[in-house]
Amino acid sequence: MGLARSHVRDLLGREEDWNDGRRHRTPTGDAGLLAELRQEIAQLPSYGYRRACALVNRQRAAQGAPKVNAKRVYRVMAAADLLLPKAPRRRQSARTHEGRVAVSRSDLRWCSDGLEIKCDSGQTVTATFMKDCCDREVMAWRAWEGKGLPGEPVREMLIEAVERRFGSVEAVPADQELEFLSDNGGAYIAADTRALARALGLKPINTPVCSPQSNGMAESFVNTFKRDYLAAQEWPGNVRQLRQRIEEALVFCDTVELRVSDFDRYRHAEPPPTPAPAAIAPAGASLKDVERELIHRTIAELGGNKKRAAERLGISRSHLYKVLARED
C-alpha cells in the first residue's frame, strides 16, 4: 500500500463519523490579509514575509482571530510585489581548486594554523606552526602561555621557516612562486604579516569565504596532534612543561609524522642570550636613529647574522627587519 504503519494505525483508530476538516472549506479572500500586511510593514519595509507573518499573527492572537499560514502570506505578498529582493550571489573566487591542498614538490605551498591546548590546571597553551604541503615537515613553530594568536609569533615563524629552507631571507628564488596558505585569522590577514610574507618572497593566500578551498592539511595536523598525542599524555597541569614537551617533539622528530616516543625526549634549556651592547648616542640623535645604529653595529659584530643580532638585542626578527626596511 505504500503507507507508514503509524498512518495505518491512525486510519484504523478513527471513528465512523470522522470528517476531514480540510475539505469543503470556503476560501477566505486575500484583500483583508493584504491590508493587514501593508499596515504592519508600512514603517518596516526591510521586513520579509516571515516577520510580516509573525506581526500579523501577533495582532490576530490579541484579537482572538485565527492565525494565518506563512505560505499564504508568501503567496499574497508575492502577488502584491511586496517580497524583498533576493540577496545577490557571492562573487566566486578566481582561483581554481580541484580539491587538493597537497603539491608535487617541496617549497611550492606552505600552510599554517594555530591551536589551543587546555591544561588540567585551567591554563591554556597556544601554538602555531608552519608546514610544507608536500613533505609535511613542520619547519617552524611558536608556543606560549595564554589565549589568542597575535601576529608577532606568526611573523617570527615566517622568517625562521624561510631561513631553514633557503639559508637566509634573501635566498628565495625570484622566479619561484611559494604560496603561504592560511585561514582568515587576524594574525594571518594583518597588513604587517602580509607585507613581511611578500618581502620574504611568499605569496599569502587566505581561505575564501564559501569556497571549496580550505586549509585542510594544517587543520588535519591540529586534529591528529590533539587526538593521538596529547590525549595519550598524563599532564600534571604544568603549562610550562606542556609547552616544553610540544617544542621538544617538533624539534627532535626525525620523520614526517609525530610519534608518542617523540614526547619522551629531553632537551636542556638554552643559555640566556648575551646582553645587548651599550649604544653611544650622539648629541641630538633621535631614538629611531639610535636604534638603527645599534642594530647595524650588532649585525656587523656578528658577521651579518640577523637572527643572532635580534637575540642579542632582545627584539623580534620581524621588528629588526621593519627597522631596516625604513632605510629603503
Q: Please answer whether residues 68 and 57 qualify as being in contact, where contact means their C-beta atoms are separated by less than 8 angstroms.
A: yes
Tell me phi and psi for residue 111, to 5 degrees: -130, 155
Domain ranges of the chain: 30-84, 109-264, 271-328
CA-wise closest residue to 128 among 190, 203, 183: 183
pLDDT of residue 86: 80
Q: Three-state SS across the chain?
A: CCCCHHHHHHHHCCCCCCCCCCCCCCCCCCHHHHHHHHHHHCCCCCCCHHHHHHHHHHHHHHHCCCCCCHHHHHHHHHHCCCCCCCCCCCCCCCCCCCCCCCCCCCCCEEEEEEEEEECCCCCEEEEEEEEECCCCCEEEEEEEECCCCCHHHHHHHHHHHHHHHHCCCCCCCCCCCEEEEECCCHHHHCHHHHHHHHHCCEEEEECCCCCCCCCHHHHHHHHHHHHHHHCCCCCCCCHHHHHHHHHHHHHHCCCCCCCHHHHHCCCCCCCCCCCCCCCCCCCCCCHHHHHHHHHHHHHHHCCCCHHHHHHHHCCCHHHHHHHHHCCC
- Residue 34, classified by CB atoms within 10 Å of its CB into exposed (0-12), middle (13-18) or buried (19+), is middle
pLDDT of residue 78: 93
The one-letter amino acid at 180: F
Q: Which residues contact 295 (CB under 8 A, 6 or more apart)?
A: 309, 313, 320, 323, 324
In b/e form, how buried is each residue of 135-171, taking b as 16+ CB within 10 angstroms? eebbbbbbbeeeeebebbbbbbbbbbbbbebbeebee
Positions in the chain whose pLDDT score sits under 50: 210, 212, 266-270, 279
pLDDT of residue 193: 92
Superfamily of domain 109-264: Ribonuclease H-like superfamily/Ribonuclease H (3.30.420.10)
Fold of 271-328: Arc Repressor Mutant, subunit A (1.10.10)
The one-letter amino acid at 109: R
For the record, the C-alpha cell of 157 comes out as 615563524
**What Rg value do the Cα atoms of the chain yield, rounded?**
32
